[in-house]
Amino acid sequence: MNAIYLENSYLKDFDATVIKASGERIVLDKTGFYPVSGGQPSDLGSIVRDDEEFKVLQVEPAQDGIVHILDRAGL
């Protein structure tokens, strides 16, 4: 997993591929979303696929990558 937020903390847009999905929880091959850490909240935002928007409610570190928790399943 490529944490591109470490390279550019002002990044607004990026392309990524879903490598794992389970309900509202997804892992991407790379992310610009900073995960929750040390009492600091995670970044919020949205992921768009084919003009359909999924809101990112929380981002958490996990053993298999950085998990993005969405407002609904289907991505």
> Would you kindly state where each structural domain of the chain is located, as residue ranges?
2-70
pTM here? 0.92
**Cα–Cα distance between 55 and 34 in angstroms, integer?**
15
**Cα–Cα distance between 38 and 46 in angstroms, integer?**
23
* pLDDT of 23: 97
Within a 10 A sphere around the Cβ of 43, how many other Cβ atoms? 18
* pLDDT of 64: 84
What 3-state DSSP class applies to 68? strand
Class of domain 2-70: mainly beta
Mind listing the pLDDT tens digit of every residue in the chain (75 residues)? 788 988 988 889 999 999 999 999 999 999 999 999 999 999 999 999 999 999 999 999 999 899 999 999 998
